Amino acid sequence: MTDRLELLVNDKIKLIKNLHVLVLGLGGVGGYALESIVRSGIKEVTIVDADRIDISNLNRQIIATTKNIGQFKTDAFEKRLKDINPNLIVNKITKYINEENLPSLFVKKIDYVIDCCDTIKTKQALISYCTKNKIKLISCMGTGNKLHPDRLKIMKLKDTSYDPVAKKLRKFVKDNKIKEDIFVVCSDEEKVIKQIDTIPSNSFVPATAGLLCTSYIINDIVK
């Protein structure tokens, strides 16, 4: 399964295969991050999401089809991932995560966290927990209301601009005197539509963000 990747990374494939990655949020971004990291040959994932697949997910979420609407995303992904790699260890957590129960995600040793959740307080709690416990984290900022995947980049949180999620996280990091660099996937594209109640979305911007999250992990190991 990993023969073609091994041509690129040589003996580092052993490190990749031994990874345990936690993916929090299995939507438009998290689904692509999850699938691409599993296709890289890692041995274990912990997947976290409380939501069921909805018809509104069909335009952008890799797990969503007309046949699995109503299923929990964690259940649908477990089946899909096992079809890709039957030897993969899948730990499912089908519940909402907050500051109080977040430590329960780390009962087992986690090598990397991919944060694709939408809740600011959960993102803040993840930053605090991961920096304190020296767990590597890549956090995705907003991908809705954008049209240009080429404007997405992996960067340090302190270097972000335009993104309202990143702005709140920058303040949180400053107020809490967190000195470590926080790496994020963020776009420098401004909102396409300024005033709107429902956030518009597409298939290609969230997908690109998810793939960049996986790219961060693989390249962090290869370097």
Residue extents of the structural domains in the chain: 3-222
Q: Are 19 and 2 in contact (CB under 8 A)?
A: no
Q: What is the pTM of this model?
A: 0.97
Q: Are 116 and 140 in contact (CB under 8 A)?
A: yes
Tell me the Cα Rg of the chain: 17
pLDDT of residue 195: 80
Structure tokens that stand for 39 in this block: 């296709």
pLDDT of residue 63: 98
What is the residue whose two structure tokens read 């997908």? 207
Q: Per-residue pLDDT for the chain (223 aa), expressed as one digit of tens each?
A: 899 999 999 999 999 999 999 999 999 999 999 999 999 999 999 999 999 999 999 999 999 999 999 999 999 999 999 999 999 999 999 999 999 999 999 999 999 999 999 999 999 999 999 999 999 999 999 999 999 999 999 999 999 988 999 999 999 999 999 999 999 999 999 889 988 888 999 999 999 999 999 999 999 999 8
Superfamily of domain 3-222: NAD(P)-binding Rossmann-like Domain (3.40.50.720)
pLDDT of residue 42: 98
pLDDT of residue 188: 94
Q: Are 143 and 221 in contact (CB under 8 A)?
A: no
pLDDT of residue 211: 98
Q: Are 63 and 80 in contact (CB under 8 A)?
A: yes
Task: Render pLDDT for 142-192 as a digit per residue (tens, 0 to 9).
Answer: 999 999 999 999 999 999 988 999 999 999 999 999 999 999 999 999 889
Task: Render pLDDT for 127-151 as a digit per residue (tens, 0 to 9).
Answer: 999 999 999 999 999 999 999 999 9
pLDDT of residue 196: 81
pLDDT of residue 13: 97
- Rounded CA separation 214/219 (Å): 9
What is the residue whose two structure tokens read 């509104």? 56
Residue 126: phi and psi, rounded to 5, are: -65, -45
Cβ-Cβ contacts under 8 Å for 149 (sequence gap 6 or more)? 204, 205, 207, 208, 209
In the three-class reduction of DSSP (H, G, I as helix; E, B as strand; rest coil), residue 196 is classed as coil
Q: Are strands 112-115 and 183-187 parallel, antiparallel or unpaired?
A: unpaired
